[in-house]
Structure 1
Amino acid sequence: MPAPDDLTAAAPAGPDATVKPTVSVIVPVHNTRDYLDRCLDSVFGQTLDQHRIEVIAVDDGSTDGSAERLADHARRHPNLTVLRQEASGGAGKPRNTGLDRATGDYVFFLDSDDRLGPEALDRLTRMADRCGSDIVYGRIVGADGRAAPVDLRTTSDKVSVFDSPVYWSLAAYKLFRRSFLETHRLRFVEGRLLAEDLPFGIAALLRADVVSVLADHDCYYLHGREDNSNASRQDIDWCEYLDYIGTVLEDVEAQVPPGAQRDKLMVRHFHGEILMPFGAAYLARDLAGRQRMAAAARPLVERYCTDRVRAALPPGLRLRAHCLRAGLDDALTAVVRADTEGQPDPPHLGDDGRVYAGYPYFRDPERGLPDACYDLTDRVVVRQRLIRRRWAGGVLHLRGTADLPPLGADTVEIVLQRSGAAHRVPARYADGAWQAAVDPATAADGGPLTDGTWGLKIAVTAHGEAGPAGPALRREAWLVPEEGAGDEEFAPRIVGRGPAGPSVAALFLSVPHGHLHLDLDRDGARRPLGDDLRGTADRTRSGRAALAARLTLPGCPVDAELGLVLHDATRSVALRTTVERGAGDHYTVRSLLRSGPPGTWQVVLRVTAGPFRRELPVRAADGRTPLTLTVPGARRSMNPLRRTRG
């Protein structure tokens, strides 16, 4: 017997109905019994207290046993309410039903074939509380063959739809402040299987005061189904769909004035909705069906595909848009077939120094397709991996892979860049792999690098068929070490710079992008040596003071002098010091004192290598307290000590 239209609760209210939940999780369900345990268990396993979570599952006329499975979960989880309604033909109506019933400060829409990361709700709600967010995007992860719509890489308290990638993910699965949704009466389109969340997502983003991004935790897992039954993979009446997209874009047009900002939004819609059907679905239709699809899309191209939008599209979509506007159905079919049934010919570097995609009819006089439709020059970027970085003898050795897809590469250079200055260091390159040696003594065109912070880039050059005598394309990119690489090479070290004298060199990564930099500091103040320098001060049985210190000192020259020194407010005393050099740049220094000037002295380690001289404070075992030595009133001579001035 079919379920009635009015809603019935399949579970009692939560354990304490007087406690208002922090977040209501709304789960639309339609024939997803095989995935319900995974979905709901991800909610019941949240680190956020279950008393603060209200779960509302809306069964939209399931016939596969989903209703019974929901009832079983409701018996075991008092914070789950199950509502039932007739099948509505899409996720919009069950989401609206759940939203009307929700009581939480926030709502989160979770599809019943997906799941949450274990800390998602705790992290998302805390960020919303802290930032006053109307919407919080959590990082989305694709699973089981399904890709995430956008890769959110940077956590941000507040972003704009015009300067961040959030507009590229208009789907429902994110956190919303419920009062914000109610103030603007935002609801989903009902009865649609595909793109029912577009008007909701667009209106929410354009009206929100604060949109935040939580990118440092995997919040939402977007799963593909084994039977490819996800709504986005179903057969669609594409002409009707394109007419519907036209009404959606009319709303965008009404809310965003013409210009660069509106065009940024339209680029996403040409990628995601307008040109998306022109693939396998287009080729599967007969000639008349293809012509109807083209006729449905043509008004959208004519109205919204400005020159700025067209230039922002990749060549395959740019050609589709041009063919639709110009009524070139044969050329449109050839372009779609090149992408769908095979692949375009390899791109090539033209005699004008531009890179052109290998789609059909390039410079065919009978077709007259503009070169600009094929041009992908501005889309060619360096693909590179920095596999290894290693210091040896004061020289930084780098190794990695690099090319310019789809052109390959012919030469590679390392570029050191700072304050308008740039120096190039050639790399050995073969079969996609490169090696380079950056010597601070010679890297500045044969001379020493000056003090300061140097960014490290890789420059890759590809030549055309004419070789080095013909046109070439050169691109640069920041060097970024692979994740998980060791950090031992980031320790400050002493390096030689020829006539410029030794300096303290340190590698570090910029924040937040992780670009590799080299800091050269003659004074050693920005990134001091001896971070692990620890020492002890003991008394021997004969009454002598025994000082010992250990540290790692990368790059220390073999002829360098290391000595312990005592300082007070006005005096310095250099001690006779023995030095033991161990493996891995580890040093142990010791001094033995019978007597000395009375007072309390701070212990430092003096490092001298030619003109290079640094005094490094010795700390006690806790790493925080400076190591001091107290000498009582002297009774004997200072034979063990050599006294110096300052």
Structure 2
Amino acid sequence: MTIKVSVVIPVYNPGPYIEDCIASLLRQSLPQDAYEAVFVNDGSTDGTPARLDALAAEHPHIRVIHQENSGWAGKPRNVGIEASTGEFVMFVDNDDWLSDEALERMYAYGVEHAADIVVGKMAGRGRPVPRELFRTNRPRATVKNAPLIDSLTPHKMFRRAFLEEHGLRFPEGRRRLEDHVFVTEAYLTAGSVAVLSDYVCYHHVRRDDAANAGFQQLDPVGYFRNLREALDVVAKYTEPGPLRDKLHRRWFRNEMIERMRGRRLLAMPDGYRQQMFQEMHKVVVEYFGPGVLTGMAPMQQIVGALITADSYPDVEEFARWEKTIGAHAELTGLGWQDGALQLEFTAGMLAGKKPVQLHGAVGEELVRLPAGLDGSDAFAQLGVRPDARVDASKAEVVVRERSTAAEFYQPVGFSRERVPGTGQGAGQDDVRMVLRAKATVSPETAAGGEPLSPGVWDVSVRVHLAGWTKDVRLGSVRSETAARGCRAAVVGEPARLVLPYWTIPHGNLSLDIGRTTGGLTQQFGELDRRDLRVLPEPLLLEARLPVWPAAATVPAVLHLTEQSGSRRTVRVAAALAATDDPGRSLLRAERPEQPLTGGNWGMAVSLGEGDERPTRLPFVLAVAAGSGALTIRAVPERPAKKHAPFARRFAPRFVRRMVRKVRGRAARSH
């Protein structure tokens, strides 16, 4: 079979961090005779060369090339291009990894749309990745109609014939931003770029030891010398004007302004950040026209104006204030409707513990800056101001899978409300902006139209105001109404359990898909004896459970486990039915075919189809010997063993129950 994709992986001393990369390449859904992995070992001095040689000996579609250390990733990637035989070339870093269907989906999408470049959706683990670019699929993206320039890492799929036609190769040697030069030229010469956003393809990982090449402290002089090379590529392929300004804006914003803001600036040593500032100022003066700054968000314009005006003290002062800016949200409503979780919340922006204050006429509101910055000459000279952009303010809901960092936007409707300003420093006519929103999270479509995969999905609100974009977890501030609505549900086809729960200790809202936490056991632990009763034949019992069924009836199984003797388990058919109480459902179980022997039988419930982790009920079914009479009782106390530890022999029942809860916190906390 013709090789469809060659995956090129530059390797230098990754240690154990390469194992996730290797495992993901071996898991690819694309047939192994349809792709190859080319590892280019750039003079590693750890055990990686031997590990790769053994891997290649075992897998025919994996090749290894060894070379002397070249200093950076450019040369090994170029060597990989030369050695590749696939229709497309995909670049992967040795400490990152691919989702299982990444190569298959990206290749098919590229062929379908005759693309020279395929950009797959990225998820960042401790590393930033583009957001707006991956809001939707873009089969015909260009630097004009899409924010392609926001994604300049090389972790994309390139048609090999396209690379050869234009002689595209990475700059080599020990240098920074070699990927910016390569990817920028590729974007500007490509006939077609396809952006695949409905499936997370690439996982961009920050190592625990922070030893990724991109996290090493940079030399300001060398870094901005390399950055100029990327700007020169833009100049080569564009004319002065709006398009060039738009492209230049990416470097001014990401590589300069964002480094001079808030915590990021203040975390740098003082002399080092001043040196960074001076190198930035030189680039701005040499390359950027006034149109570059004009198209930015208001607070980016503020910092950009101060860099342009060479006003470093004001940059520091602004950073100290901006460090206090953050979003807040209050969950006011939570509940299930039509198979989807409905959220209601309010959101806004804070400066410290006080709302951000706005002033000025309606429609022309400005953010009230701290004293000393509100009259900066640099702002007046460059025509910038702290515009609140009230009409562009918005709140979005994002669900993010905890283990993979995959995130997806959810449908939201919201309104804007101007509320009189409060707190110290608020003027008589000041106002603050409150966003009132309703959102829907449908587990069957929330992942870009696909069902949420098993795992823990954290729910956040993304607030936009005055050019700030800040995330805040939802749920730690909540109303009693929202707290009562936090109930599990059985949804979808086939039916499966979805558990909203509050994390420990922060109390944030997360969704457990596939029983990865013990949250349902905790909710069932709150059942009262009156919630269960024995039924006459042919039924066995019914229980009122804190679960919402999406359908009129949902299949379930009652597991009865003998508490002594053989400890055998009997599975009994059951069904979960809706009730008038939206927070409760009724479980009815049938009698087993064979009578139960006398004694206590523990009870657990499987909800939906394919539920392999039954949830225990805090009750036993007591069967009287001889008569077979049935009684429901609380789980009996276990007798203390003669030599049992003190806590187990003498601690009250509620203490032991708390110990069990604490043991499950690790899986539920976040």
Q: Shorter-chain TM-score category?
A: 0.5 to 0.7
Match of 1:383 in 2: 395
Contact 2:121 2:199 in 1 (8 A): yes
Match of 1:363 in 2: 374
Contact 2:412 2:440 in 1 (8 A): no
User: Which TM-score applies when normalising by structure 1?
Assistant: 0.57
Letter of the aligned partner of 1:328 in structure 2? S
- TM-fit CA distance, 1:305: 4.1
Correspondence for 2:211 among 207, 224, 229: 229
Contact 1:301 1:321 in 2 (8 A): no
Match of 2:510 in 1: none
| Bigger Cα displacement from structure 2, 457-466 vs 258-267 | 457-466
Match of 2:648 in 1: none
- Establish whether residue 116 from structure 1 lines up as the match of residue 82 from structure 2: no
- Establish whether residue 331 from structure 1 lines up as the match of residue 290 from structure 2: no
Correspondence for 1:259 among 218, 241, 261: 241
Correspondence for 2:415 among 459, 468, 476: 459
Letter of the aligned partner of 1:383 in structure 2? A
- TM-fit CA distance, 1:283: 5.1
- Distance in 2, Cα, partners of 1:210 & 1:459: 38
Contact 2:8 2:91 in 1 (8 A): yes
Alignment partner of 1:374: what SS? coil
Q: Give identity over the alignment, percent.
A: 30
Contact 1:46 1:120 in 2 (8 A): yes
Match of 1:313 in 2: 296
- Distance in 2, Cα, partners of 1:249 & 1:214: 27
Contact 2:418 2:431 in 1 (8 A): yes
- Establish whether residue 372 from structure 1 lines up as the match of residue 377 from structure 2: no
- Establish whether residue 150 from structure 1 lines up as the match of residue 150 from structure 2: no
Contact 1:61 1:86 in 2 (8 A): yes
- Distance in 1, Cα, partners of 2:55 & 2:260: 42
Contact 2:417 2:433 in 1 (8 A): yes
Letter of the aligned partner of 1:361 in structure 2? G
- Distance in 2, Cα, partners of 1:306 & 1:252: 14
1:81-480 → structure 2 map (5 Å cutoff): 81-143=63-125, 145-150=126-131, 152-192=134-174, 194-278=176-260, 289-339=272-322, 347-353=356-362, 354-356=365-367, 358=369, 361-364=372-375, 372-377=384-389, 381-383=393-395, 458-465=414-421, 470=429
- Establish whether residue 73 from structure 1 lines up as the match of residue 58 from structure 2: no
- CA gap of 1:29–1:378, structure 2 versus 1, over 3 A, is farther
Alignment partner of 2:194: what SS? strand
- Establish whether residue 482 from structure 1 lines up as the match of residue 434 from structure 2: no
Q: 1:555-590: per-residue Cα shift (whole Å, max 9, x none)?
A: xxxxxxxxxxxxxxxxxxxxxxxxxxx999xxxxxx
Alignment partner of 1:375: what SS? coil
Contact 1:294 1:324 in 2 (8 A): yes
Structure 2 residue runs without a partner (length 5+): 327-350, 400-410, 447-551, 553-577, 581-670
Contact 1:134 1:210 in 2 (8 A): yes
- Distance in 1, Cα, partners of 2:66 & 2:250: 36
Contact 2:305 2:384 in 1 (8 A): no
Contact 1:282 1:293 in 2 (8 A): no
Letter of the aligned partner of 2:128 in structure 1? A
- TM-fit CA distance, 1:185: 0.6
- Distance in 2, Cα, partners of 1:139 & 1:368: 37
Contact 1:264 1:309 in 2 (8 A): yes
- TM-fit CA distance, 1:350: 0.8
Match of 2:564 in 1: none
Q: 1:232-271: per-residue Cα shift (whole Å, max 9, x none)?
A: 2111101221122123212212211222222221221112
- Distance in 1, Cα, partners of 2:429 & 2:319: 33
User: Which TM-score applies when normalising by structure 2?
Assistant: 0.55
- Distance in 1, Cα, partners of 2:208 & 2:398: 37
Q: 1:525-566: per-residue Cα shift (whole Å, max 9, x none)?
A: xxxxxxxxxxxxxxxxxxxxxxxxxxxxx9xxxxxxxxxxxx
Contact 1:155 1:216 in 2 (8 A): yes
Letter of the aligned partner of 1:363 in structure 2? D
Contact 2:98 2:203 in 1 (8 A): yes
Alignment partner of 1:24: what SS? strand
- CA gap of 1:124–1:65, structure 2 versus 1, over 3 A, is same
| Bigger Cα displacement from structure 2, 276-285 vs 252-261 | 276-285
Letter of the aligned partner of 1:375 in structure 2? D
Correspondence for 1:40 among 13, 22, 25: 22
- TM-fit CA distance, 1:277: 4.0
- TM-fit CA distance, 1:196: 1.5
Greater relative contact order: 1 or 2 (C-alpha under 8 angstroms, separation 6 or more)? 2
- Distance in 2, Cα, partners of 1:110 & 1:254: 28
Alignment partner of 2:28: what SS? coil
- Distance in 2, Cα, partners of 1:468 & 1:362: 16
Alignment partner of 1:191: what SS? coil
Q: How many residues align?
A: 407
Correspondence for 1:52 among 31, 34, 59: 34
- Distance in 2, Cα, partners of 1:360 & 1:236: 34
Let me know the Cα RMSD of the aligned residues: 3.7
